[in-house]
Structure 1
Amino acid sequence: MKITLITVGKIKEKYLRDAVAEYVKRLSRYCKLEIIEVADEKTPDQASETVEDMIRAKEGERIMKHIRDDMYVITLEIGGKMLSSEELADKINTLGIQGKSSIAFVIGGSIGIGQEVLKRSDFALSFSRMTFPHQLMRVILLEQVYRGYRIISGEPYHK
């Protein structure tokens, strides 16, 4: 299985980069992982809805350049479906059984994901109704994908 993580922006904090590197290393025995970072747009303070829509659209165009037709696209959205770790593991496993060999997880920028990307999404996933910094969300997602592969493999993992 190939897992592609498409994210808006770079991780600036060393502790988050270190955590991402650790999960990249751990996941290497279960799947082929690629992380693609697209440039983020500066959002002015008190930006109007129109300006925010334009920013999401620009970031969305950058994301769409990396989404292939054969990818199963999972967008991270506050309003998406919440899954347990076991349910996410089952989803990844079922996609593989169904012949999907490439999953793309999309983490938008600080103001969300553009409409073009949302329309292309095959599944909207929510980790919580709370908002998390998108750099931290990358670590949380990678941890859950790693946990999922441990569950699929029947290997122990802390609860």
Structure 2
Amino acid sequence: MSRCAEGTPDTTAVHGDTVELTGHYRAGCDIDRQLHATLRDFTVRRARADQRLDLALVAWGTAGNIGDRSRIEPLGRPLVLAEGRRLRDDFGSRPVYAYDRVPGRADRLRLGTPGGGRSFASPSATLLTDPDGRPALLVSVFIPKEESAPGESGELVHWREP
């Protein structure tokens, strides 16, 4: 997709010798955008831009990179958590969005820290079973030092039971 860079692959499905994944690429060697790719036998690859996801985040005023993303299926409905930098060169302007592929719409998540931090990168979410056998949601994000409260930069892990 880019002669400059491709990154943060996330495997979304495996079917025999075929692996489906998402990632981001440096569009025009300038700005990160999203892609879908298919690997067969790890030799034949087909990649294409995920323009619907990009456009859904751009509609929120995302003018910078659209980077890491994580697929999750709460209540059986697939959603993608994605980071989108509002300002081109500002590492502190990264809200997280929940993107629904069916309508092609993204909603900005209202995340925050006790100290008032509002910038989050590399969202990841996993539905799992807790030690008592109950369903739980585990979410992690990276809090960049730009726009973070004192002592709040770094990895944030949040656990929630429904």
TM-score by length of 2: 0.29
The structure with the larger Rg is: 2
Higher helix share: 1
Higher strand share: 2
Of the two structures, which has the highest relative contact order with CA contacts closer than 8 Å and spacing of 6 or more? 1
TM-score by length of 1: 0.29
